[in-house]
Amino acid sequence: MSLSTPSLKFLLDENVHVGLYKFLRKKSIDIVLVPKAISDEQVALISKKDKRILITKDEDFTEYSQDAIFGVIWLRIPQSDLKVLLSSFEKLLSAGESFSNKLVILKSNTWDILELGSWE
């Protein structure tokens, strides 16, 4: 899967380092920022309606089902380590996985992919 695959659409939560947004934009990946100060429910609604995978550090989104959100990438990498965040995210994208209806738990250079609503 090319990093510029048009089917990849992301929604970046406000708690994620803006460097990831800039990195993905440079790769011509469709990404938008979550509007400031909206509720988790509104974020999930935007994700579902626009078919965008939410990138977040917020553990609350790991409990959402596929009926409530399109997909979630939960970052478990310290935001202070932008280099590791960017390289790990690039490796994830290069793997060619589908993220719709999935919970992706992204760690340093590795990840787990689960069905939404199945993580405890």
Q: How is the chain split into domains, by residue range? A: 9-115
Residues 6+ apart with CB under 8 A from 55: 10, 11, 12, 13, 16, 20, 73, 75
Do residues 32 and 12 touch, judged by C-beta distance below 8 A? yes
The string of pLDDT tens digits covering residues 19-72 is 999 999 999 999 999 998 899 999 999 999 999 999 999 999 999 999 999 999
Given this model, what pLDDT does residue 1 score? 41
Whole-model pTM: value is: 0.92
Would you say domain 9-115 falls under CATH 3.90.1170?
Answer: no
Mean pLDDT of the chain: 92
